[in-house]
Amino acid sequence: MNESLINIGMYVTYGLLGLAALSAILFSIFHMFGNIRKAIPALIGLGALLVVILFSYSISTSEAYPDATPTVSQWIGGGITATMILIGLGLLAAVFTEIYKYFR
C-alpha cells in the first residue's frame, strides 16, 4: 500500500515539474517575441555560444573514451574544449574590465 502511494506521488511530482519547466520556457519565448528589441543582445550571446560549441566540436577528435562511441567521444572532447575557451574568454574579459576601470 505504501509503495503504491509513493509511486503515485512521484509521478504527480514529475508531471508538475515538467509542467513548470514547460511553462517557464514558453513564457520566456513569448515574452522574448513581445520585446524583440530587448532580446537582441541575449540572442547575440546565444549565437556566440553556439559558434563556440560548434567550433570546439569541429576541432575535437573522436578518440574513443572507455564505454563511449566515437560520436559521444567527440562531443565529450568538444565540451571540454568549449569549457576551456569560455573560461579563457571570461578571464580575458575580467582583465580587460579591470584595466578599463583603472584608466577611466
State the DSSP code for 60.
S
How far apart, in whole angstroms, are the C-alpha atoms of residue 81 and residue 57?
8
Write down the pLDDT at residue 1. Answer: 58
Contact 56, 81 (CB under 8 A): yes
Mention every residue, 6+ apart, whose C-beta is less than 8 A from residue 81.
Answer: 56, 57, 59, 60
Q: What is the pLDDT along the chain (104 residues), one digit of tens a residue?
A: 577 878 898 999 999 999 999 999 999 889 888 888 888 998 899 999 999 999 999 999 888 778 888 889 999 999 999 999 999 999 999 999 999 999 98
